Amino acid sequence: MEKVLIIEDDKFLRDLLYKKLTEDNFSVATAFDGEEGLKKIQEENPNLVLLDLILPGINGFEVLKKTKENPATKEIPVIVLSNLGQKEDVERAKKLGAEDYLIKAHFTLEEIVNKIRKYL
């Protein structure tokens, strides 16, 4: 079973994603902020990370950077799921190694799951 780590501070969205992914037969771990997210990437060794950028403490860009710099975790695909839609943010995330960049308002849960499947 593929394991997805959701790093998202919005409880409502985190719970929604968790429910949808478990229904679609994924194993799911969640983290509320960047620090917990980095810890869980190490501990859980997920097959994919769904990452918000605006997080309490360590932001998503920093989580992405640290994940991709670490030889043990650099191969894990990271999909950014954010409200930040500026071209600079998208480019920065891709430069840091994000597989894809989804703007929250533009995607349904089903489309997000399809993107996850694409990268697994």
The pTM for the full model equals 0.96
Number of domains in the chain: 1
The CATH number that applies at residue 40 is 3.40.50.2300
Q: What is the structure's pLDDT at 51? A: 98
Q: How many CA atoms lie within 13 A of 118 on its CB side?
A: 10
Query: Which residues span the domain enclosing 101?
Result: 3-119
Query: C-alpha angle 112/115/119, rounded to 5°?
Result: 140
Q: What is the structure's pLDDT at 74? A: 97
Determine the Cα–Cα distance for residues 20 and 14; give it in Å rounded to an integer.
Answer: 10
Please give the chain's pLDDT, 120 residues, in tens. Answer: 999 999 999 999 999 999 999 999 999 999 999 999 999 999 999 999 999 999 999 999 999 999 999 999 999 999 999 999 899 999 999 999 999 999 999 999 999 999 999 999
